[in-house]
Structure 1
Amino acid sequence: MTQIKLIASDLDHTLLTEAGTLPPHFYDEIRALHNQGIHFVAASGRAIYTLKPMFEPVKDCMSLVGENGAVVIRNGKIVYSQFLPKADYVRLIQHTRTLGLGVPLLCALDASYIDEQYAQYADNLRHFITELRVVPDITQLDVDVPKYTVYYPNGGLTDVYERDYVQPLGDQFHVTVGGSEFLDIMHRVVNKGHALSELGGLLDVTPDEMITFGDNLNDIEMLKLAGHSYIMQAATKAIEPYATARIGSNGEYAVAEKIQSVLDQHGVLV
């Protein structure tokens, strides 16, 4: 038997519906977990400033892992962070510009930034990024940057991911895919699994006492970390080896359903 003490879920295509909404009554579920001594964690590639409003009503009952693990928030404070030095993010921007594919997106703590030459993509990006700013040249910014992203508005990311980024940069940075249109690059030690390990240390929770949910490559490390890990019905096949089981779809609220089953068992998994 295992007493679960922490449950972490990816958001897009996992916990959230395709419309980007939480399952019905999910705040109540987070409060119920808290009352049973189980800590809920929203673990996303999204920015912290996007996550905070989404979970404001239950902020005292949970933690946030943003930017694929570069920033961890607990009780409204940053308890772990890992930023890209300016020299690194300028180099990455220039690499993307040289390739001539994708839109460079600088993801800072307060907002995300694109060059004004890509302003035509701003409206679409704001569906994912609540604080998007258009500036003359993002290489001139001097800000705290947890993550650098390349946006592929016309798709095709999977065709160039390995060739253009993993092979030339993978030994220096953590390169991952946050969805069909977004390639994410962080400090080489950054991933959701490492962030959860750091948080677990603060909360006195071991990996065996964790449950994680995910659907894509940027979830691999946290799926590997947890003693119990679940992937979505539509999850990419590449992450299957790291999952305990495959569950239903986000449209069917499969994560919320699984969490309710944990609540029904008072956090005890046999």
Structure 2
Amino acid sequence: MIKLIVTDLDGSLLNDNKELPPDFWEFEKTLRELGIVFCIASGRPHHNLTRLFQPIKKHTYFLSDNGSYVSYNEEALLIKMLDPQIVATLVKASRGLADVYPVLCGMGKAYMEDHNEALLEQALQYYQSYQMVDDLTRVSEPVLKVSLCDLQNAETNSYPHFKKFENEYKVAVAGERWLDFTACDANKGTAVRLLQQRLGIGFNETMVFGDYMNDLEMMQTAKYSFAMKNAHPGILNAASFITELDNNNNGVLQTIVKILENPLFFNKNPVEKNRFRQ
């Protein structure tokens, strides 16, 4: 039986307009009543996730900042900070790249040093709590993640300049416009394994969904690892399964329904299974 479901947000649970499926709240309630733990794993910061999922934040596990910060009911279960010297190195290296802007992700807010309108249009989708500073290398607050907003293309423009540092910290193309850096041992896969251990849930009882390269390690934590139909080729290759529908057609929830209604995976009675159709 599936006991743990973990999903990425952008490009997975959310459609391209950054909207949740219209039946999400009732769906999550049904999963909870059936004893299935539903978790959110995202590159987004903690404050954004708790705001988006306000109605269920007290009983939802959040794996924010690509797994650098894991929390439950405002209790921190895992925190992985970047070394300040690494933060300064990344900021300085990014300044010489065309159309690339660094964002520092702290525990409670983000930090930026540029008022570029295109940057703000991208960043404010995820960082409602932020502070403008004159020099990011002088930010003294702990940093969970450095994100580069690449207005060209993160994979082809900025990533090649930082690929050589992959042995020093985790480098992940997190979307068309985002390149993320976290501590070497901070990723969604590490975070999911922490939850499995904490909850006593195994590999064979776990289902995960993702679409981009910051979901790569997470694909290795579950027997039922699903790449979204719209996923990056690297995730399509890494996952065990591919959803029939993309993120704009409710691919995550529809896949869950299909799997849980299969008697091979669900040991509840038909009345309970039919609750997904209500």
Q: TM-score, normalised by structure 1?
A: 0.92
Q: What are the superposed Cα offsets for residues 70-92 of structure 1, whole Å, 9 maximum, x if unpaired?
A: 01111221111101122221121
- Is 2:181 the partner of 1:185? yes
Give the corresponding residue for 1:220: 216
Q: Determine if contact 1:116/1:137 at 8 Å carries over to the other structure.
A: no
Q: CA deviation at 1:245?
A: 1.7
* 2:179 is the counterpart of 1:205: no
CA distance in 1, matches of 2:119, 2:173: 19
Question: What is the CA distance between 1:162 and its match in structure 2?
Answer: 4.6
Counterpart CA distance in 1 for 2:252 and 2:93 is 38
How far apart, in 2, do the equivalents of 1:46 and 1:4 lie?
26
Are 1:196 and 2:203 counterparts?
A: no
The 5 Å alignment of 1:119-198 reads: 121-153=119-151, 155-167=152-164, 169-198=165-194
**Alignment match of 1:96 (pick from 86, 94, 97):** 94
Deviation of the 1:207 alpha carbon: 1.8
Deviations 1:201-247 (A, max 9, x none): 11111122100001111111111111101111111112222222211
Distance (Å, rounded) in 2 between the aligned partners of 1:80 and 1:266: 35
TM-fit CA distance, 1:192: 0.4
Per-residue deviation at 1:103? 0.5
1:132 is displaced (CA, Å) by: 2.7
Aligned residues: 266
2:254 corresponds to 1:257: yes
Q: What is the distance in 2 between the residues matched to 1:267 and 1:205?
A: 18
RMSD over aligned Cα, in angstroms? 2.0
Summarize the Cα distance change of 1:175–1:124 in structure 2 as closer, same or farther, 3 Å threshold. closer
Distance 2:191 2:25 in 1: 23
* Structure 2 Cα separation of the partners of residues 261 and 192 of structure 1: 25
C-alpha separation in 2, matches of 1:197 and 1:267: 24
- Counterpart check, 1:87 vs 2:67: no
TM-score (norm: length of structure 2): 0.89
- CA spacing shift, 1:266–1:144, aligned 2, 3 Å: farther
Deviation at 1:257, TM superposition (A): 1.2
Aligned partners of 2:13 and 2:50: how far apart in 1?
Answer: 16
Mapping for residues 35-114 of structure 1, pairs under 5 Å: 35-99=33-97, 102-114=100-112
Aligned identity (percent) is 27
Q: Tell me which moved more, 118-127 or 245-254.
A: 118-127
Q: Aligned partners of 1:32 and 1:131: how far apart in 2?
A: 32
- 8 Å CA contact 2:159, 2:179 repeated in 1: no
Amino acid at match of 2:215: D
Amino acid at match of 2:73: N
Distance 1:189 1:230, change over 3 A: same
Query: CA offset at residue 100 of structure 1?
Result: 5.3
Highest relative contact order (Cα 8 Å, sep 6+), 1 or 2? 1
Distance in 2 (alpha carbons) for counterparts of 1:49 and 1:269: 34
